Structure 1
Amino acid sequence: MRSTTSLLASAIALSGAVLAASAEAATCRDPRGFDAFLADMKKEATAQGVSPAAAAALDGLTYDPKVISLDQGQHVFKQTFEQFSGRMINASRMKQGALKLKQYASPLSRIEETYGAPGAVIVAIWGLETDFGAVNGDFSTLRSLATLAFDCRRTDKFQAELIDALRLVERGDLPPEAMRGAWAGELGQAQFMPSSYVKYAVDFTGDGKRDLLRNPLDVMASIANYLKAHGWKPGEGWEPDQPNFAAIKEWNAADVYARTIAAFATKLAATQAQ
Structure 2
Amino acid sequence: MRKTNYRFVVSLLLGMVVSFAAAQSTETDDADFRQWRQALIDEARERGISDTIIEQALVNVTPIPQVVSNDRNQAEFVETLAQYLEKRVTDWRIQTGRTRLAQHRPLLEEIAREYGVPARFIVAIWGIETNYGNFTGGTDVIRALVTLAYDPRRADYFRRELFSALDILQEGHIDHANMKGSWAGAMGQSQFMPSSFLNHAVDYDGDGRRDIWTTEADVFASIANYLRDAGWQPGQRWGRQVTLPQDYQQRADQWSQGEVSYSCSVLRRHTIQQPVDQWQMIGVRQHDGADLPQSDIPGSIVLPDGDAGPAFLTYPNFRAILRYNCANNYALAVATLADSF
Moved more, 159-168 or 209-218: 209-218
Normalising by the residue count of structure 1, what TM-score does the alignment of the two structures yield?
0.83
> Structure 1 residue 264: deviation in Å?
0.9
CA distance in 1: counterparts of 2:75 and 2:224, whole angstroms = 29
Residue correspondence of structure 1 range 206-217 to structure 2 within 5 A: 206-217=206-217
For 1:35 and 1:189, locate their aligned partners in 2 and report how far apart those are by CA, in whole Å.
Answer: 33
Q: 1:76 and 1:226, CA in 2 relative to 1: closer, same or farther beyond 3 A? A: closer
| 2:334 paired residue among 245, 261, 269 | 261
| CA radius of gyration, larger in | 2
Partner residue in 1 for 2:281: none
Contact 2:101-2:119 within 8 A present in 1 as well:
yes
Match of 2:257 in 1: none
Partners of 1:54 and 1:167 in 2: how far apart? 10
Counterpart residue number, 2:79: 79
C-alpha change, 1:187 and 1:231, in structure 2 (3 Å) is same
Q: Tell me what 1:139 maps to.
A: 139
Alpha-carbon distance in structure 1 between the residues aligned to 2:224 and 2:65: 35
Counterpart amino acid of residue 53 in structure 2: A
- The 1-side partners of 2:118 and 2:332 are apart by 17
- Aligned match of 1:234: 234
Moved beyond 6 Å, runs of 4+? none
Q: What are the superposed Cα offsets for residues 92-148 of structure 1, whole Å, 9 maximum, x if unpaired? A: 001110011111111111111221111100000000001011011111111110011
Shift of 1:157: 0.6
Q: Does the aligned pair in 2 maintain the 1:54–1:167 contact within 8 Å? A: no
Corresponding residue number in structure 2 for 1:41: 40
- For structure 2, the residue ranges without an aligned partner over 5 or more in a row are 1-27, 240-312
Equivalence map 1:161-172=2 (5 Å): 161-172=161-172
In the other structure, the counterpart of 1:3 is none
Q: Name the counterpart of 1:249.
A: 322
Deviation per CA, 1:131-181, whole angstroms, max 9, x where unpaired?
A: 011011111111110011111111101111110010001000111111111
CA distance in structure 2 between the partners assigned to 1:255 and 1:62 by the alignment: 33
Partner residue of 2:11? none
Verify the 8 A CA contact 1:108 1:119 in the aligned structure 2.
Answer: yes
**Residue 76 of structure 1: how far off its partner (Å):** 4.9
Q: Spell out, residue by residue over 1:3-56, the C-alpha distance to the aligned partner (whole angstroms, 9 max, x if none).
A: xxxxxxxxxxxxxxxxxxxxxxxxxx9884222222211222233343343333
Secondary structure at the counterpart of residue 187 of structure 2: coil
Quick one: distance in 2 between partners of 1:31 and 1:243? 47
1:218 maps to 2:218:
yes
Following the alignment from structure 2 to structure 1, what is the Cα–Cα distance between the partners of residues 199 and 59? 26
Q: Distance in 1 between matches of 2:116 and 2:165?
A: 28
Q: Which moved more, 1:156-165 or 1:230-239?
A: 230-239
Letter in 2 for 1:266: D
Q: d(CA) in 2 for partners of 1:83 and 1:166?
A: 37
Aligned partners of 2:230 and 2:320 also within 8 Å: yes
Instruction: Identify the range of structure 1 (239-248 vs 151-160) with the bigger mean alpha-carbon deviation.
Output: 239-248
Whether the aligned pair in 2 keeps the contact of 1:164 and 1:194 (CA below 8 Å) is yes
Checking the alignment, whether the CA contact within 8 Å between 1:30 and 1:36 is kept in structure 2 is no
Paired amino acid for 1:36: Q
Contact 1:30 1:37 survives alignment (8 Å): no
One-letter code aligned to 1:252: N
Indicate the structure with greater strand content. 2
- C-alpha distance in 1, partners of 2:234/2:76? 32
Secondary structure at the aligned position of 2:314 is classed as: coil
- The range that moved more, 78-87 or 163-172, is 78-87
